[in-house]
C-alpha cells in the first residue's frame, strides 16, 4: 500500500540508530531470546510478566508490560521476517480492552558490525490506527518521567568505581 500522499497517521515513520559496544550476535540474541528481551522491553522499571516472543516468521507476539504501579499494558503483533544476526521485522501494537489492536507499527530492526560493536537501526512505520489510538497516550506518561530522570542523570552523573 502506498500511503505517502496521506496526511494522516498511516505511513508515518521514525528511524532510530544506536551503536552498542557489544558483538552483533549478542545484540541479536537480546532481541530474539524472550528471556533476554523481557529484561529490557518497555519503559524503565517495567517488567514483562507475559512474553510470548518466538522469533520465527508467522509467529504471533503477545507481551504484557507491567508498570511499577501494577498497571498492565498488553501488546500484540506478529513476526514477518527473521534473519539471524541481520534483521527482524515484526508488527506490534497496544491492545484495547477487547483484545483488538488500537494501532499497529511495522518495525524493521537491522544489526550491522561496527568494529567490535554493533550498529542497530530501528525503522518504525505506522500501518494502521483505529479510532481509539489516541487513548494510548496516557500509557506514555511513564516514558516522559523516564526522560526527565535520564536528564537528571546526565546533569549529575553517578561516580563509578
Distance, CA of 107 to CA of 122 (rounded, Å): 7
Hey, which residues between 19 and 58 contact other proteins (CB under 8 A)? 20-22, 26-27, 30, 36, 39-44
Distances (CA, A) of 121 to 4, 62, 65: 22, 23, 23
- Look-up: residue for cell 546533569? 155
Which region among 52-60, 75-83, 129-137 touches other proteins (by CB under 8 A)? Answer: 129-137
Hey, which residues between 66 and 105 contact other proteins (CB under 8 A)? 105
Which region among 55-63, 74-82, 83-91, 127-135 touches other proteins (by CB under 8 A)? Answer: 127-135
- The DSSP H or E segment spanning 75 is strand 72-83
The single-letter DSSP state of residue 98 is T
- The DSSP H or E segment spanning 31 is helix 24-32
Q: What is the contact surface with other proteins in residues (CB under 8 A)? A: 5-10, 12, 14, 16, 18, 20-22, 26-27, 30, 36, 39-44, 105, 120, 122, 124, 126, 129-135, 137-138, 140, 143-144, 146-147, 150
Amino acid at each position: 500500500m502506498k500511503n505517502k500522499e496521506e496526511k494522516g497517521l498511516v505511513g508515518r515513520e521514525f528511524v532510530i540508530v544506536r551503536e552498542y559496544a557489544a558483538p552483533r550476535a549478542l545484540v541479536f540474541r537480546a532481541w530474539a531470546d524472550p528471556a533476554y528481551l523481557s529484561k529490557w522491553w518497555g519503559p524503565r522499571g517495567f517488567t514483562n510478566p507475559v512474553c510470548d516472543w518466538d522469533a520465527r516468521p508467522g509467529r504471533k507476539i503477545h507481551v504484557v508490560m507491567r508498570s511499577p504501579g501494577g498497571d498492565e499494558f498488553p501488546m500484540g503483533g506478529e513476526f514477518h521476517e527473521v534473519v539471524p544476526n541481520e534483521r527482524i521485522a515484526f508488527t506490534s501494537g497496544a491492545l484495547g480492552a477487547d483484545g483488538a489492536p488500537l494501532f499497529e507499527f511495522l518495525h524493521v530492526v537491522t544489526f550491522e558490525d561496527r568494529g567490535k560493536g554493533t550498529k542497530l537501526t530501528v525503522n518504525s512505520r505506522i500501518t494502521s490506527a483505529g479510532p481509539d489510538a489516541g487513548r494510548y497516550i496516557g500509557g506514555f506518561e511513564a516514558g516522559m518521567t523516564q526522560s526527565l530522570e535520564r536528564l537528571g542523570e546526565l546533569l549529575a552523573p553517578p561516580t563509578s568505581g
